[in-house]
Chain A
Amino acid sequence: MEIDDILASVDSSGVSNPESTALDHQLFTRFWVAERSVPELLPWPSRLMNRMMERIQHQISTIEDLAATSSDPSNITTTTTVPGTTNTTLTLSILQTDLSRTQYLIRSLLRQRLAKLTKHSMYYLLLSSTSPPPIPPSSNLANPDIKSQQPEDSIPPLPSSHSTTSPLSISEIQFLHTHQTLLARHFGSSFLSSFPPQLRRLDDNAGGTSMVQGPDLRETVFVRCLAEQVTVVAPPGDGVDEVLGGTMRMGDVWVVRWEGVKEAWGRGDVEVL
């Protein structure tokens, strides 16, 4: 079948080659669906995104060139075939639609990520930070610095090098740091500065309830098993090793906890629906 041949040849790589374009489009679409569906921020696919952005730039210049040629009156007079011009209009509208569809996906992805980042901002800042915040959370009154304690002191400094374990892109880390600093100053000037100094932090742990809230990895997701079989797990913790659970078979669609299939997703053995 023709279509199979086209899709089957997507293995070869190289940004300019049309088959790798198709593969990247599929990978990116799948990533978008997953990012929209899982509770936590997924690791930023920087190489895939670089290739996507490069192609978009290229496609924009193609469209601009084509539009310039078609709107140039000297060109129409020299072009003798009338169907040629209608075809340029059609080609342009197809290229534009294809471009808008891709741009829509990228915007949706970035906005979804921003929503996750700002919802759990302190959590992701601490996750991306390579050094601890200037004053540890359980600071006592004997500390001479405590008197000048301000909400923004809870914010860890920008990491000097990009940590490989952080799921954020470099621009996301910079955004989040600036965002949270502004927010902390705003909290400070509107009400936190009237609190006693030791109650001004944004990462307090007092009373056993942490102010730093992360996403709940036990939330439910819908997945399809792509490998021959995949075992759902109960992840290790509380002194218990990883426990194996039910087994999905190829083609199965399951409702499961995200934590139970997160590793399998990372291996590409399940897709999020």
Chain B
Amino acid sequence: MAFPLPRGITPPEISFLAEMEMVTIVPRQRLEGLELLGGPISPLIPPRRTPVPLWLALLLKRQRRANILPPPWLHPESLSLILDTETQHQDYKHAFSPPPPLPGQPNMRERGQRPIARPRYTPEGQRYYRTPPFLPQNVARDQAFDDGEPPTLPFHWLEVGTMLLDVASDDVVDPDQTRRLLKELREVRSAKIRSGVDLLEDAATAGGGVALTGVGAMEIGEGRGFISGVVDGLRRIGASKEQARREQMAEATANGGYDATQDDDDDMEF
């Protein structure tokens, strides 16, 4: 077999991806700037705060060459607030708490404003929008949260949090409490995925889909096989219905135009 892994990246691969997230370190020794295949690294000059990829931060931390400044969300206060949103807030009973906005997307205070997507262009001329792990969602900030903006869980929250607690727990505020809160969040959110099976039918129809906005990368990894299995199963059971509907449409088209009205409300939230 050329490749034994199932479709979709697995937990170790998701973790590998999360190691590309930028975090802030306080170097304890000097090092000249480096040109890496993943992009340039700024020179390390103690005690100047410097953003580096998580894998490099962990490498330096293990050799006691740097300390890591944990991201603002990885703090008992932030995590408790997020946990409250996940468990108490009416809007998020069946949905995940909102993720950090993408560049160009309005944040919580600017809600109601239109998002403006500003693509960059690749050398091939294709549109490119930056997303995690290539956004500064895990770098340190001077204040815990900017201007009263509520804390949010970044896409790679579970991986970054777990790895920082493993390797740099002495850099994390109240590591035991933080660890407990991460575990609690994981359980609350995992239950939301499992109880959302009823809504998955919308993803089984052609042109349909089910929103999981706010979901974390590791949570997709854990739920991918099951969710895809349920959606594919529902699609197969409904296949004859879909076929019949398409035949009707084809007939109508042949007889002079089908007035396609979308009768499904596809924008369902967990």
What residues of chain A have their CB less than 8 Å away from a CB belonging to chain B? 1-4, 6-7, 10-11, 13, 18-27, 29, 33, 36-39, 45, 47-48, 51, 55-56, 59, 83, 87, 90-91, 93-95, 97-99, 101-102, 104, 108, 111-112, 114-115, 118, 218-220, 222, 224, 226-228, 232-234, 237-241, 243-257, 259-260, 267-269, 271, 273
B123, A256: Cβ atoms closer than 8 Å: no
CB closest chain-B residue, reference A51: B123
Q: Is the CB of B59 within 8 A of A93?
A: yes
| A220 contact from B9, B29, B203, B254, Cβ within 8 A | B203
With known contacts A251-B99, A253-B211, A114–B38 Cβ distance under 8 A: no
How many positions in chain B have a CB within 8 Å of any CB in the partner chain?
92
CB-contact partner of B1 in A3, A102, A115, A222, under 8 A: A115
Instruction: Enumerate B188-227 residues with CB–CB distance to A below 8 Å.
Output: 200, 202-203, 205-215, 217, 220, 224, 227
Contact in complex: A219, B209 (CB < 8 Å):
no
Q: Are A22 and B208 in contact (CB under 8 A)?
A: no
Contact of B262 with A245 in the complex, beta carbons under 8 Å: yes
- B168 on the A face (CB < 8 A): no
Interface residues of B in 80-139 (CB under 8 A from A): 99, 101-102, 104-105, 114-117, 119-124, 126-131, 133-136, 139
| B209 & A240 in contact (Cβ 8 Å cutoff) | no
Tell me the minimal C-beta distance from A200 to chain B in angstroms: 26
Report if A245-B266 is in contact (Cβ < 8 Å); known contacts: A219-B228, A233-B207, A253-B213.
Answer: yes
Give the tally of cross-chain contacts (CB within 8 A): 257
**Smallest CB-CB separation from A93: which chain B residue?**
B59
Question: Which one, A21, A37, A269, contacts B40 given CB within 8 A?
Answer: A21
Q: Which of A6, A11, A98 has most chain B Cβ within 10 Å?
A: A98
Question: In the complex, which residue of chain A has the Cβ closest to the Cβ of B49?
Answer: A2
Binary contact track B47-72/A, C-beta < 8 Å → 1, others 0: 00011000110010001010000000
Contact A36–B7 (Cβ < 8 Å)? yes
A27-B122, A238-B250, A240-B253 in contact; A6/B37 too (CB < 8 A)?
no
Please give the residue numbers on chain B whose beta carbons come within 8 Å of chain A beta carbons, in ascending order: 1-3, 5, 7-9, 13, 16-17, 20, 22, 29-32, 34-42, 50-51, 55-56, 59, 63, 65, 99, 101-102, 104-105, 114-117, 119-124, 126-131, 133-136, 139, 200, 202-203, 205-215, 217, 220, 224, 227-228, 231-232, 235, 246-247, 249-250, 253-254, 258, 260, 262, 264, 266-267
Q: Smallest CB-CB separation from B19: which chain A residue?
A: A101
Assess the A219–B232 pair: CB atoms within 8 A. yes
Check if B128 sits within 8 Å of A37, measured CB to CB: no
- Distance between A117 CB and nearest chain B CB, rounded to angstroms: 8
Q: Is the CB of A260 within 8 A of B102?
A: no
Question: Would you call B38 and A98 a contact (CB within 8 A)?
Answer: yes
Q: Which of A24, A245, A246, A255 contacts B200 (CB 8 A)?
A: A255
Contacts of A98 in B (CB 8 A): 36-38
